[in-house]
Amino acid sequence: MRHRHTVLFVDDEVNILKALQRLLRQEDMNVVCASRGQEALEILEKTPAQVVVTDQRMPEMSGVDLLSNVRERHPDIVRMMLTGYTEMNVAVEAINRGEIYRLITKPWNDDELRATIRQAFEQSDLKDEIKRLNQVTREQNFKLQDMNRNLEGKVRERTKQLAQKHHELRTAYVQTVGALAEAVDAKDTYTRGHSERVGVYATKIAREMGYSKEFIERVYIAGLLHDVGKIGVRDYVITKPDRLTPEEYEEIKMHPEIGAKILEPVDFLADIAPCVRHHHEWFDGSSRGYPERLLGDQIPLPSRIILVADTVEAMTSDRPYRKALSLDRVVSELNKFAGSQFDPSCTSAFLRLLDREGESFIKSDQKFDIYEFIEG
């Protein structure tokens, strides 16, 4: 609730003080009086007032001196002077020095004086309100700054969680589809583990070629999933030990497209789908490649890398109709088809690896962890 307004009058003439009290008796305010400057200052220490009105010419302390004292000790009190025409120059100077809010001349007009006092209270209330609002604004600013700090922290935390979730989802999906690829490999005892090994070989080749972690991860996943489309090819055709008929060969040739169609609807594997679709294209764009006979760098780079890895894996594994081939044979085959079937930059990266690692290249794929491999 709002406090009651108080005005303090200071004058050495008792009659004037009495007249002022009479004048304001009906008003809703406290009226306090003092007849000396010192007395007025003592009253203000105990009684909070919003307005002080003082005479100028008084013994001991003049009105201007009193007001400048009040200004120092209680800067929020509205200060006014009630003065005769003879003291006008002093009063005007006091106004100019900013000591007083308003000047009332003696003899005063009753209505005017009442109105002026009311305005002084309004002025005081306004100052209070501005002060209060400033305080509220300051507090809200602090609160806002605090909230901002909290919010930034929360956003950081959430972003981290989202990235983590995204990674988990991706890993889970790759595992699921990888399991599918494994199931496809398992349709034929001779190709068990084929997809995983192709993924590993392709990863090694990509790293040898100096590509980024993100690219290597993509190559690994594409390698893991390259033959997933064989799920749509009849078991009989996949496991047939004899030569395939032209029709059966056409059916086998469908697997890159079937695989791409399985992966396309999954947002975060959308960039893997084209790598799967084109893993049997020939580098020279010839008709021996499929499905689209893309040429050179029209073929996604991961597909070109996977084709080398796929060929190496197939040649170094036993098949029903032949034993695993020697690494020398693998090398001469790759050299023979570099530039026609294979991208020469991929074969030469593989040959450099083989030079360094020898036999262990095709035997070191136990418990392969792609992330350990990229970081290491």
Min CB(323)–Fe ion separation in Å: 19
Q: CA 93 from chain center: how many Å?
A: 60
CB closer to Fe ion, 163 vs 179: 179
Cβ(177)–Cβ(263) under 8 Å?
yes
Q: Does 257 bind Fe ion (CB under 5 A)?
A: no
Min CB(194)–Fe ion separation in Å: 6
CB closer to Fe ion, 32 vs 258: 258
- DSSP assignments along 284-311, one per residue: T--TTS-SS---GGGS-HHHHHHHHHHH
CB closer to Fe ion, 11 vs 227: 227
Min CB(344)–Fe ion separation in Å: 21
First to last CA, the chain: 72
The span from the CA of 34 to the CA of 117, in Å, is 17
Min CB(226)–Fe ion separation in Å: 6
* Structure-block tokens of residue 240: 């047939």
Query: E strand or H helix at 12, and its extent?
Result: none
CB closer to Fe ion, 63 vs 223: 223
The side-by-side arrangement of strands in the sheet containing 78-84 is 30-34, 6-10, 51-54, 78-84, 102-106
For residue 117, give every residue at least 6 positions away whose Cβ sits within 8 Å of its Cβ, in sequence order, or none. Answer: 7, 24, 27, 29, 51, 53
Dmax (CA) for the chain in angstroms is 133
Min CB(375)–Fe ion separation in Å: 27
CB closer to Fe ion, 285 vs 291: 291
* Structure-block tokens of residue 357: 């690692």
Under rule CB under 5 A, which residues in 62-121 are in contact with Fe ion? none
Residues in contact with Fe ion, counted by CB under 5 A, come to a total of 2
Query: E strand or H helix at 105, and its extent?
Result: strand 102-106
CA distances from 127 to 36, 53, 141, 306 (A): 28, 18, 21, 79
Active-site residue, selected from the candidate residues 46, 204, 230, 253: 230
Q: Which residues pair with 51 in a beta bridge?
A: 7, 78
Is 230 marked active-site? yes
Under rule CB under 5 A, which residues in 215-254 are in contact with Fe ion? 227
Min CB(227)–Fe ion separation in Å: 4
Q: In a 3-state reduction of DSSP, which class is residue 35?
A: coil
CB closer to Fe ion, 49 vs 222: 222
Cβ(313)–Cβ(197) under 8 Å?
yes
Residues 269-308: x/- map of binding to Fe ion (CB under 5 A)? Answer: ----------------------------------------
CB closer to Fe ion, 99 vs 310: 310
- Candidates 195, 189, 215; CA nearest to 272 is 215
Min CB(205)–Fe ion separation in Å: 15
The span from the CA of 87 to the CA of 70, in Å, is 20
Under rule CB under 5 A, which residues in 305-334 are in contact with Fe ion? 310
Q: In a 3-state reduction of DSSP, which class is residue 83?
A: strand
Q: Return residues touching Fe ion (CB under 5 A).
A: 227, 310
Residues designated as active site: 230
